[in-house]
Amino acid sequence: MNIFIRNQDNDLFKYLSDEDMAKLMSLCEKRSLKAGEVIYPRDVAAVLIVQSGRLSRYSAAGIKGGNVYPGELDLEAGLFSSDIPDYYLKAGGPVEILLCPYEVIENIPEPKPRAQIQAALNDSLCLKIAQMTHKNHDEDAY
């Protein structure tokens, strides 16, 4: 699998064929959020994908830690650990999301799509680590 070939505009499905993506999406839930609506990771056992709009990520203390934009995902850490960090996501206006249950992802029967989803999840987690470790670095210093 060449992880540099991206088939979809959605981070979770980016390596899947159109057919595999359609199968997986049929098992996910679409949801509309109103401005100011909040999602707590501990209440959702699914990977969240923003389809339109923007969600902001806040710590339990209310400190903004970033945004989640269309195509990006969040809540994927719950696939790997039951110890979910205490934060929340807040809609910055009308937002359309797709919730792909952990159970669906964990039970993908075919090896290739399962590996492609795992690669996409790894990409997302690595990007978040890079963003956290470079958060306060001055770009002009390099």
pLDDT tens for 14-24 read 888 888 888 88
CA angle 81, 13, 20 (to 5 degrees): 110
Model pLDDT, residue 119 = 83
With H, G, I as helix, E, B as strand and everything else as coil, classify residue 39: strand
Per-residue pLDDT tens over the stretch 26-35: 999 999 999 9
Residue 93 DSSP label: S
Q: How far apart are CA 22 and CA 4, in angstroms?
A: 21
pTM over 0.75: yes
Q: Can you read off the two tokens belonging to residue 110?
A: 């075919």
Model pLDDT, residue 101 = 93
Task: Using the CB atoms, write b or e for 74-88: b if 16+ within 10 Å.
Answer: bbbbbbeeeeeeebb
Give every residue of the chain whose pLDDT is below 50, as ranges. Answer: 1-7, 138-142
Enclosing H/E stretch for 73: strand 73-74
Q: How far apart are CA 84 and CA 71, in angstroms?
A: 22
Model pLDDT, residue 97 = 96
Structural domains in the chain, sorted by start: 18-133 (2.60.120.10)
Q: How far is CA 104 from CA 16, 46, 91, 108, 112, in A?
A: 15, 9, 25, 6, 15
Q: How far apart are CA 100 and CA 110, in angstroms?
A: 17
Place of tokens 């359309």: 96
Model pLDDT, residue 137 = 52
